[in-house]
Chains A and B, each alone.
Chain A
Amino acid sequence: MDVLIYLIPIALSLGFLGLMAFLWTLKTGQYDDIEGAKWRVLSDDDLPKRGGGA
Chain B
Amino acid sequence: MRAPVRDWQAFTTPKPNGGAHMDLAVEGITCAACMSTIEHGLSGLPGVANARLNLTTHRLAVDWEPGRVDADAVVQRLEDLGYRAHPFDPARRTAEEAAEERGLYRAMGVAGFAAMNVMLLSVSVWAGNVTDIEPATRDLFHWISALISIPAVAYAGRPFFGSALRALRHFRTNMDVPISIGIWLTLGLSLFQTMRSAEHAYFDSVLMLLFFLLVGRTLDNGMRRRTRGVAENVAALRAITAVKCLPDGSLREVPLSRVDPGDLVLVRPGEHVSVDGVVKDGTSEIDQSLVTGETDLVATTPGDRVYAGTLNVSGSLKVQVTAATEGTLLEEVNRLLENAAQAKSRYMRLADCAARLYAPVVHSAAILTFLGWYLSGRLPGAEALIVAVSVLIITCPCALALAIPVVQVVASGLMFSKGVLIHSGDAIERLAAADTIVFDKTGTLTLAEPVLLDFATVDRTLLKRAGRLAGASHHPLGRALADVAHAEAPPDGAREIAGFGIEAEVDGRLERLGSAEFCGVDQTVVDDLLSRHPRASLVAYAPGDQAPVLFAFRQGLRVDAAVTCTRLKKMGYALEILSGDRVEAVSSVARELGIATWSAALRPADKIARLEALKAAGSRVLMVGDGLNDAPALAAAHVSLSPVTAVHLAQAAADAVFLGDRLAPVADALAIARRSHAAMIENLSISVVYNLIAVPIAIAGLVTPLLAALAMSGSSVIVTLNALRLKLK
Q: Are A and B part of the same complex?
A: yes
Determine if A12 and B117 form an interchain contact, defined as CB atoms under 8 angstroms apart.
yes
Q: Within the complex, which residue of B39, B53, B137 is in contact with A1, where a contact is CB–CB below 8 Å?
A: B137
Q: Min CB distance, B2 to chain A, in Å?
A: 39
Chain B residues with Cβ under 8 A from A43's Cβ?
35-36
A11 with B120: CB separation less than 8 A: yes
Tell yes or no: A53 within 8 A of B by CB: no
**A18 closest partner in B (C-beta):** B113
- The yes or no answer to A47 lying at the interface (CB within 8 A) is no
Interface centre among B53, B106, B117, B144 (most CB of A within 10 A): B117
The answer for the CA separation of A19 and B110 in the assembled complex, in Å, is: 7
Chain A window 9-46, contacts with chain B (Cβ cutoff 8 Å), 1 for yes, 0 for no: 00110011011001100100001111110011011010
**In the complex, per-residue mask of B36-80: 1 if CB is within 8 Å of any chain A CB, else 0:** 100110000000000001111100000000000000000000000
**Does A4 belong to the interface (CB within 8 Å)?**
yes
B425 within 8 A of A: no
Contacts of A54 in B (CB 8 A): none
Number of chain A residues whose Cβ lies closer than 8 Å to a Cβ of chain B: 23
| Residues of chain A contacted by B113 (CB below 8 angstroms) | 15-16, 18-19, 22
When the two chains form their complex, are residues A11 and B117 in contact, meaning their CB atoms are under 8 A apart?
yes
A49 to chain B, nearest CB (A): 12
- Whether the pair B55, A36 counts as a contact (CB closer than 8 A) is yes
Q: B522 on the interface (CB 8 Å rule)?
A: no
Q: Is B32 interfacial (CB-CB < 8 Å)?
A: yes
Q: Which residues of A contact B110 (CB under 8 A)?
A: 19
| Contact status A45-B40, CB under 8 Å | yes
Judge whether B56 and A15 touch: CB under 8 Å: no
Across the interface, do B120 and A40 meet the contact criterion of CB distance under 8 Å?
no
B56 touches A45 (CB 8 A): no
Task: Name B134's closest neighbour in chain A (CB-CB).
Answer: A1
In the complex the two chains form, what is the Cα distance from A4 to B133 in whole Å? 13
B105 beta carbon closer than 8 Å to chain A: yes
CB distance from B104 to the nearest CB of A (A): 10
Contact A33 B56 (CB under 8 A): yes
Q: Least Cβ distance of B631 to chain A in Å? A: 33
Whether a CB of chain A sits under 8 angstroms from the CB of B681 is: no
Instruction: Tell whether B172 is near chain A: CB-to-CB under 8 Å.
Output: no
Taking a contact as CB atoms under 8 Å apart, the answer to whether B106 and A45 are in contact is no
Known contacts A15-B116, A22-B109, A26-B102: A35-B137 contact under CB 8 Å: no
Q: Which of B3-55 contact A (CB under 8 A)?
A: 32, 35-36, 39-40, 53-55
In whole angstroms, what is the CA distance A33 to B39 when docked? Answer: 15
Interface majority SS on A: helix, strand, loop or mixed?
A: helix
Contact string against A for B residues 347-358, beta-carbon threshold 8 Å, 1 for contact and 0 otherwise: 000000000000
Q: Which residues of A contact B35 (CB under 8 A)?
A: 36, 39-40, 43
Q: A4-B137, A33-B54, A33-B56 are in contact. Are A23 and B39 (CB under 8 A)?
A: no
Cα distance A19–B211 in the bound complex, in angstroms: 14
Residues of B within 8 A of A1 (CB): 134, 137
CB pair B39–A8 under 8 Å, yes or no, is no
Give chain B residues whose Cβ lies under 8 Å from the Cβ of A40.
35
Nearest-neighbour CB distance to chain B for A17, whole angstroms, equals 10
> Contact at A15–B117, with CB atoms within 8 Å?
yes
CB pair A45–B54 under 8 Å, yes or no, is: no
Q: Are A26 and B105 in contact (CB under 8 A)?
A: yes
Cα distance, A32 to B102, chains bound together (Å):
11
Contacts of A19 in B (CB 8 A): 109-110, 112-113
Q: Which residues of A contact B134 (CB under 8 A)?
A: 1
Q: How far does the alpha carbon of A22 sit from the alpha carbon of B111 in the complex, in Å? A: 12
Q: Which residues of A contact B116 (CB under 8 A)?
A: 15
Instruction: Contact check, A23 vs B106: say whether CB atoms are below 8 A apart.
Output: yes
Which of A8, A18, A31, A39 contacts B105 (CB under 8 A)? A31
| Minimum C-beta distance from A31 to chain B (A) | 7
Chain B residues positioned under 8 Å from A39 (CB to CB): 32, 35, 55
Known: A26-B102, A39-B32, A39-B35. A8 touches B144 (CB 8 A): yes
Distance, CA A42 to CA B106, complexed state (A): 29
Interface contact B144-A36, CB-CB below 8 Å: no
Q: How far is the CB of B41 from the nearest CB of chain A, in Å?
A: 12
In the bound complex, how far is the Cα of B118 from the Cα of A15, in angstroms?
A: 11
Known: A15-B113, A45-B40. A33 touches B55 (CB 8 A): yes
Bound state CA distance, A23 and B102, in angstroms?
10
* Chain A, Cβ-Cβ closest to B117: A15
> Is the pair B56, A34 in contact by a Cβ cutoff of 8 Å?
yes
Question: What is the minimal beta-carbon distance from B100 to any residue of chain A, in angstroms?
Answer: 13
B109 touches A23 (CB 8 A): yes
Closest to B36 in A: A43
B109 in contact with A36 (CB, 8 Å): no
Chain B residues with CB under 8 A of A42:
32
- When distances are taken between beta carbons in the complex, the residues of chain B under 8 Å from A23 are 106, 109
Chain B positions within 8 Å of A, measured between CB atoms, are: 32, 35-36, 39-40, 53-57, 102, 105-106, 109-110, 112-113, 116-117, 120-121, 134, 137, 140, 144, 148
Other A-B pairs, 12, CB within 8 Å; known A35-B55, A39-B32, A39-B55: A12-B117, A12-B148, A15-B113, A15-B116, A16-B113, A19-B109, A32-B54, A33-B56, A36-B55, A40-B35, A42-B32, A45-B40
Question: Could you list 8 A-B pairs, sorted by A, with CB under 8 Å?
Answer: A1-B134, A4-B137, A11-B120, A22-B112, A26-B105, A32-B56, A36-B56, A45-B36
Q: Which 9 A-B pairs have the closest CB atoms?
A: A36-B55, A39-B32, A19-B113, A35-B56, A33-B54, A35-B55, A22-B109, A15-B117, A43-B36
